[in-house]
Amino acid sequence: MTPHDLHDLAGTANTSAAAARTRRRLDAQRILNAMVTAPAYVRNGRMGVLAANQLGQAVFTPLFTTAQRPVKIARFVF
pLDDT tens for each residue of 50-59: 889 999 999 9
Of 42, 20, 46, 45, the C-alpha closest to 31 is: 42
Whole-prediction pTM: 0.65
Give the residues of the chain that fall short of pLDDT 50.
Answer: none
Q: Where are the domains of the chain?
A: 3-77
Q: 1-16 in b/e burial notation, b at 16+ Cβ within 10 A?
A: eeeeeeeeeeeeeeee
